[in-house]
Chain A
Amino acid sequence: MSVRVSELEILRYDPEQDEAPHFQTYTVPCHDDWRVLDAINYVKDELDRTLTYRWSCQMAVCGSCGMAVNGEPVLACQTFVRDYPQKIRIEPLQNFPVERDLVVVMDDFIDKLESVKPYLVPKEEKEVDDGEYLQTPAQLAHFKQYTACINCLLCYSACPQYALTESFVGPAALALAHRYNLDSRDVGRRVREDVVACNSGIWECSFVGACSDVCPKSVDPAAAIQQTKIASTGDYFMKVLMPWKRK
């Protein structure tokens, strides 16, 4: 196993000491199968205990370790040092306030995720002892892709609309709303409408598609939003032309 020396240029920020974020460079001997996360862990364990970042599962399923590597939002645990030149620039995810070093403030995202009512609004109530709702493999396939979101925030980081418009609900939250809207057991599209189908919701999206580009789980939030636009337009015309049909 070979070792290559990498130079990590990491954006640091301690509000108790720094006016503004600044770069600090570390020299790290990287094994050829190391990920950026392994290199950062090396810095923290061997060089600088003050380096602060989030991580946990190191298998791209918990969504903790999102950061911008050479300007691109990625999961540090899935990004291999061998794919980069010797100098690697590491910054916290764009479009979020920086709390400390590579840790961003996620409050806005959490609020927006909660606002779309991302839980099942069942078509019919059923007792647990009466068994499961039936759902065919085809019905499951219909929404399955949109269940894969790990809430890693890479999509918000890539989205220029979110960068420029604070109120935009954002890709992951809208994709999650779509996941429930498509679930055959759910009838909650109406209750999600106010937040989803409003000007700060799907209509703020201009289909840049960067969110889907960077998504590590191929959720394709851009597709979710466009499909929601079509469904919502249909809802609107129904409301206007056949108001008696709205339940």
Chain B
Amino acid sequence: MSRRPYIREPSRMGWWLKQSRYMRYMMREISALFIGIYVLVLIVGLFQLSNGEAAYEAFLATAEGPVGSTFAVFAFAFAIYHSYTWFQVTPKAMPLTLAGKRVPGAIIIAAHWFGFVLISAALWLLAGR
């Protein structure tokens, strides 16, 4: 009839630039990319280790060089951001009720950070540094 509903299409490429909450979401998602690449770097390192000391030293030289270090800094920052955002949402995905009362989200998040720090410290010590 005289109806003609108008469809406003979102920008398929640029929708996430429209609001800060979408940009933060994309940063969170992209962090997985950086973490994934870093895992690959570790795997390559392991492989080079199995190829002998020379190969491993060569690997370390690349990994600790300017490009490698810059990447490592970004990867580390994204990893922390990834953990931060993950911990923030755990109370939503797994709400906890103890003795009839809802455990406040802040406590669940704090517990995750505590575990994170504990495990990181343990690994640091084990690595002998």
Do the two shown chains form a genuine complex with each other?
yes
Specify which chain A residues have a CB less than 8 angstroms from the CB of B95 in the assembled complex: 223, 227
> Closest residue to B22 on the A side, CB-wise?
A160
Residue B21 at the chain A interface, CB threshold 8 Å: yes
**Chain B: minimal CB distance from A67 (Å):** 14
- At the interface, yes or no: A97 with Cβ under 8 Å from chain B? yes
A160/B16 in contact, CB under 8 A: yes
CA distance in complex: A141, B102 (Å): 9
**Bound CA–CA A13/B10 (angstroms):** 18
Please name all residues of chain B whose beta carbon is closer than 8 Å to the beta carbon of A206 when the two chains form the complex: 29
Contact (Cβ within 8 A) A160 B3: no
Collect the chain A residues with CB atoms within 8 Å of residue B92's CB.
212, 220, 222-223, 226-227
Q: Contact flags (1/0) for A195-236 with B, using CB distance below 8 Å?
A: 000000000001111101100000010110011011000000
Verify B3–A210 contact, CB threshold 8 A.
no
Q: How far is the CB of B112 from chain A (nearest CB, A)?
A: 15
B4 within 8 A of A: yes
Stretch at the interface among A15-23, A24-32, A48-56, A125-133: A15-23
Q: Does B37 contact A (CB under 8 A)?
A: no
Do A71 and B18 contact each other (CB < 8 Å), given the known contacts A99-B3, A222-B92, A230-B93? Answer: yes
Indicate if the CB atoms of A227 and B93 lie closer than 8 Å.
yes
Please give the distance in Å from A53's CB to the nearest CB on chain B: 16
* Chain A residues numbered 1-48 whose CB sits less than 8 Å from any CB in chain B: 13, 15-16, 20-21
Known A-B contacts A160-B15, A222-B92; the reply to A213 vs B6 at CB < 8 A is: no
In contact, A71 and B19 (Cβ under 8 angstroms): yes
Once A160-B15, A223-B95, A230-B93 are accepted as A-B contacts, the answer to whether A15 and B25 lie under 8 Å apart by CB is: no
Query: How many cross-chain pairs have Cβ atoms below 8 Å apart between A and B?
Result: 68
Among B8, B21, B29, B102, contact of A210 (Cβ-Cβ < 8 Å): B21
Question: Given known contacts A163-B15, A223-B93, is B6 in contact with A13 (CB within 8 Å)?
Answer: yes
* A72, closest chain B residue (CB): B19
Given A209-B89, A226-B92, A226-B93, A164:B15 Cβ within 8 A: yes
Q: Which residues of B contact A209 (CB under 8 A)?
A: 21, 25, 89
Given contact pairs A163-B10, A226-B93, enumerate 9 new A-B contacts (beta carbons under 8 Å): A13-B6, A15-B5, A97-B5, A97-B7, A98-B8, A99-B3, A160-B25, A209-B25, A226-B92
